Structure formats: structure tokens, C-alpha cells
Amino acid sequence: MGARKRKSAEARKEALKTTYFAQLKNVPTSPRKMRYVADMIRGMECDRALGVLRFSQKEAASRLEKLLRSAIANWEAKNERKAEEGELYISRIMVDGGMMLKRLRPAPQGRGYRIRKRSNHVTLFVDSVNKNETNI
């Protein structure tokens, strides 16, 4: 490995030490439906977002609730302490399209209609409120 590659790899590793996130891959629901729920909680405090997800009627909300709990646990593991109420917030949440299963459905007059069974990948970043505040 060259010196330039080594430096960039070390910089990436250092950045990951201060980044707290959780990923959910190949969720068998369309990205559009998942983005609807992700938009509801984007930028919220974690405790409030857990309440919103808990009482949401959407099927994707239960999956995001579990993912958010995992991201909070990752933050607690890296900082070696419990998160206080109102300390964490969702800094970023991304929903990307995953793999697509393609099927054919019989249609009239010998035709075939395509069925696309979509999936998605969700990445949720958590950050502490105190870290981003600047004292003037």
C-alpha cells in the first residue's frame, strides 16, 4: 500500500471513530414507502423519534424503530456510557434502493406483465446535541 493510500485509509478510520450509525440492508419494502417514514423522523431527537415510530401505523416504522435503537446502542458502546434524554438526535437518514426481484405475471392474449419487487437499504446516523453546539 502506498503512502497516499495509507494516509487516506487512516483518515477514514479516524472519521469512523466519531461517527455513530446503523445500517439496515435488503428490507423487502419499496424505497418510496420507507422514505415516507424516514422523512417523519429526520432531524428529530432520538427519544421523540422513538415515540413517533412506536405509534405510527406504517409497517416500515417498526423496522426503523429497531434500527434507531441499534444506532443508539452503537453510540453508547463507543462512548462507554448511557445516553441521557434529549442528548442524541438523528443527524442523517438515507434510504437507497436495493436489489429488485423481477417476475412475470400472465396477462391476457398471451402477454406477460412485469412485477418488480423492490427492496431498500437504510442508513441512520446519530449524533449528540452537545457536540454540535458552539459557545460564542
The residue type at 125: F
* Spatial separation of the C-alpha atoms in residues 130 and 1, rounded to whole Å: 38
Residue 13: count of CB within 10 angstroms of its CB: 9
Mean model confidence pLDDT for the chain: 92
Question: What value does the mean pLDDT take over residues 96-122?
Answer: 96
**23-74 pLDDT, tens digit each:** 999 999 999 999 999 999 999 999 999 999 999 999 999 999 999 999 999 9
Work out the pLDDT band at 131, boundaries 50, 70, 90: low
Place of cell 441499534: 70
**CATH entry, 21-132, from 3.40.47.10, 3.90.470.10, 3.30.360.10, 3.40.30.10:** 3.90.470.10
Q: What is the largest CA-CA distance in the chain?
A: 73
Asked if residues 47 and 85 have their Cβ atoms less than 8 Å apart, the reply is: yes
**Amino acid 133: pLDDT:** 55
Higher pLDDT, 15 or 55: 55
Task: Kindly give, in sequence order, each residue whose CB lies less than 8 Å from that of residue 15, ignoring residues fewer than 6 positions away.
Answer: none
Question: pLDDT value at position 135?
Answer: 47
